[in-house]
Structure 1
Amino acid sequence: MPALHTIQFSLFPEDNERLQNLCGWRNEHFDQVELRMGVEINARGFQVSITGLADRIVKAEEVVRDLYDSTDEETLSPEKVHLLLHEYGLDSAKALDSEQMLVKTRRKTIKTRNPNQANYIEAIQSYDVNFGIGPAGTGKTYLAVACAVEALENEKVRRIILTRPAVEAGEKLGFLPGDLSQKVDPYLRPLFDALFEMMGFETVERLMEKNVIEVAPLAFMRGRTLNDSFIILDEAQNTTVEQMKMFLTRIGFASTAVITGDITQCDLPKHQKSGLRHVIEVLDGVEGIGFTFYQAQDVVRHALVKKIVRAYDKYDRKQERIKDGKDHGKSSS
């Protein structure tokens, strides 16, 4: 992976009105430059730092300086920023092969690391129901949580609902100690970790107390209609066909649902078909639903994880060929 560099510089003359003009509402002008140029911009007062690939940060500094110069005579707008980027030959988001999407929360900005992640974010922003399917380490759950937090902070939804089939407890959680939230906490830990990172522990705890963030085992979703919500169903490969249908028919008005899972890691009994595997066939070709399929090359964790995923895929294909050969031999006899 190419090395990232950081460049730092100061803006002169120091003028608070011009600085506000440069940044735009909620830093929208900086966001525009970041997205087009594949860099990260941080400004503390008039001290600016830009992080990215070496050739991009140099050009990004030129853009920021030119934008600041222009604030002396005009009020910037997204359209004017776009025109300046066009003059630099940066009239599309792919101009620097950056194929990158941004998800901005109050605590951090999350950037996609490959085209499949960018397609995933674009689909979540475009469709009410989305599926992220693929191996561990591809970011499908983390990015779904990021989009949920962004939607909540921008008041596009009123609550976040996290759910997951508790296969290990057989969906019968009554014997486990604690209240309902504590019973399912172990199964939703990856979602909580992402929430804490993006919102902070105290904020998440407060929003859970107010039921703005709700945790519910999949078995408890039956009979509900979920309006004005961002709903994440994690580990969906462990849903049954009936559970998946039940979940999808809970989605109400002004809601977004993201379903994530890995069909190669199903913990259901062998005689039960995975609801995630089944829904891929059922909803194939249905308009208004987004599917993003991740591959081993999309893994963004430790490099060994990618090799492990590929090794398992290779082994599974070999076993299928052996099985097909045996079955063919039996049929011939």
Structure 2
Amino acid sequence: MTKKGKIASGSKKIFVLDTSVILYDHDAINNFHEHDVAIPIQVLEELDNFKSGNDTRNFEARSFIRLIDQLSRQQLISNWVKLKSENLGMFKVILNEAQLKINAEEVFGKGKTDHKILNAALGLKEENPGKKVVLVSKDICLRLKAKALNLFAEDYETGKIKNVDELYAGKTELTNFPEAIIEEVKKQRFLDATDSGILPRTGNHFYVLKHKRKVANVFYNQSLNTISAVSTDQVFKIKPKNIEQAFAIHALLDPEIKLVSIQGNAGTGKTLLALASALEQRKKFRQIFVTRPIVSLSNKDIGFLPGDAKSKTDPFMAPIWDNLRFIKDQFVGDAKMLEKIDELIATEKIAIAPLAFIRGRTLAKIFFIIDEAQNLTPHEVKTIISRAGEHTKIVFTGDIYQIDTPYLDAESNGLSYLIENAKNHPLYAHITLQKGERSELANLANELL
């Protein structure tokens, strides 16, 4: 029997979730196995403030509210309620009513919702001395405050990758490779990989094969078990400046690859290559969608900005328009092509809009580019891919080390999650771009500052 005040090893725990966890994953309460899950009543109040709008967090808030409504039915959620799945624990909403031995509002100050959430968890800890109570939050500062008050706290781990430094890069360099194979690859369009010296893989992959001064850049197709030479030809007048860019273009142009991710620092050419490849294949798709999530400065909603919807969002989409202008500049003197690009924009054959503006649309026969994908949650990446219709290609680009969304980091963002979990799928290809090609000055910033 467990003594009062002692926590039994291996016993059921109680996890207290704050608002940041729900806005990251509305289904979070179902991800704690047999353990019990609770939310402070202040979380419901904060979610009520988030339920209106088209942003990711608004959808997560509404989805969670519906989930709890379905769970409660005729029951009072101020009492413990059984979660739907048989192997899950109980759920309740915590009311802050009891007098506490340790009061977060007295320690850190009154009136702040975070401190009331801390008190809810502290109250639950006092009520359940035989159970380990853990506050779960994406907010680092809140976790530190909890630990300072002798309350266990941890990050929400679902969707996080284990080691970002070992994240799949999409390519491998093989030295001292058989010279005969390198020569054969250059002669034949496709080569059976069985006897090539390349070990079988569970996913598509790029290789740089080297033998002294001889080099072959190849793509390994997992479904066909073949290797083929990767071209360094230009695409829509954009020529790859390094082999990684050539690998990216190969994946973007391959009709058998339906899902592509390109990760890299600013200036490596991610968005430009994706847009040029889309324009090169414009006749194969009904429409080209280019989008990015809107992350406002100081985390204020764009509704505070003056003007209509277009004028509010145009500044956020400016980098995409800049890339399109750069492509147009390559056709100076070609009036016919310049007119064609303008026509594609005017007829919305190319549509550039914030991600929130295209929610719910069917993505059939569309070349869909999602820029700044590191600012998406894993759940949103999954939702986007699940909307893909027939003959659609989806491309995610971003830099996992340049995140603007609160509570996301290099390990928990949607782009990292996609790279880690899709790397072995035959419809997927990924490449990490290392070398900046914007300018030497831009490279200085990436390397030294």
Alignment TM-score, normalising by the size of structure 2: 0.43
Residue 102, structure 1, aligned to residue 233, structure 2: yes
- Alignment root-mean-square deviation, CA: 2.9
Establish whether residue 148 from structure 1 lines up as the match of residue 278 from structure 2: yes
- How many angstroms apart in 2 are the aligned matches of 1:146 and 1:117? 12
From 222, 243, 250, give the equivalent of 2:359.
Answer: 222
Matched residue of 2:267: which SS?
Answer: coil
Structural mapping, 1:223-242, within 5 Å: 223-242=360-379
Could you tell me which residue of structure 2 aligns to residue 292 of structure 1? 431
Alpha carbons 2:305, 2:312 under 8 Å: kept: yes
Residues 1:243 and 2:380 aligned together: yes
Q: How far off its partner does 1:232 sit? A: 0.8
Q: Secondary structure at the match of 1:130?
A: strand
2:406 pairs, out of 269, 282, 286, with 269
Partner residue in 2 for 1:136: 266
CA distance in 2: counterparts of 1:122 and 1:262, whole angstroms: 20
* Cα deviation, residue 204, structure 1: 4.7
- 1:10-49 superposed matches below 5 A: none
User: Separation in 1 of the partners of 2:392 and 2:309?
Assistant: 24
Could you tell me whether the CA contact under 8 Å between 2:317 and 2:354 is conserved in 1?
no
1:98 CA drift (Å): 9.0
Q: Which of 289, 301, 314 matches 1:185?
A: 314
Give me the whole-angstrom Cα distance separating, in 1, the residues matched to 2:244 and 2:269: 10
Q: Write the mapping of 1:25-104 to structure 2, written as runs, cut at 5 A.
A: 91=187, 100-104=231-235
**Distance across 2 between alignment mates of 1:137 and 1:185:** 21
Per-residue deviation at 1:117?
0.7
Closer, same or farther in 2 for the Cα pair 1:211/1:178, shift >3 Å? farther
What displacement does 1:178 show?
A: 4.4
Question: Is 2:245 the counterpart of 1:117?
Answer: yes
Q: CA deviation at 1:171?
A: 8.8
Give the Cα–Cα distance (whole angstroms) in 2 for the partners of residues 172 and 209 of structure 1.
29
Percent identical among aligned pairs is: 36
Q: Secondary structure at the match of 1:192?
A: helix
Distance 1:172 1:196, change over 3 A: same
Instruction: Give the direction of change, closer, same or farther, for the CA distance of 1:98–1:283 in structure 2 (3 Å limit).
Output: closer
Give the number of equivalent residue pairs: 216
Q: Which residue of structure 2 lines up, in the alignment, with residue 26 of structure 1?
A: none
**Contact kept? 2:238, 2:327, Cα under 8 Å:** no
Q: Deviations over 1:273-316 (max 9, x none)?
A: 31112222222312211110122xx211222433432335xxxx
Counterpart of 1:243 in 2: which secondary structure? helix
* Structure with bigger gyration radius: 2
Q: Could you tell me which residue of structure 2 aligns to residue 164 of structure 1?
A: 292
Q: Distance in 2 between matches of 1:178 and 1:258?
A: 31
Q: 5+ residue gaps in structure 1?
A: 1-89, 313-333
The residue matched to 2:327 in structure 1 has which SS?
helix
Work out whether 1:308 is the aligned partner of 2:449: no
Residue 71 of structure 1 corresponds to which residue in structure 2? Answer: none
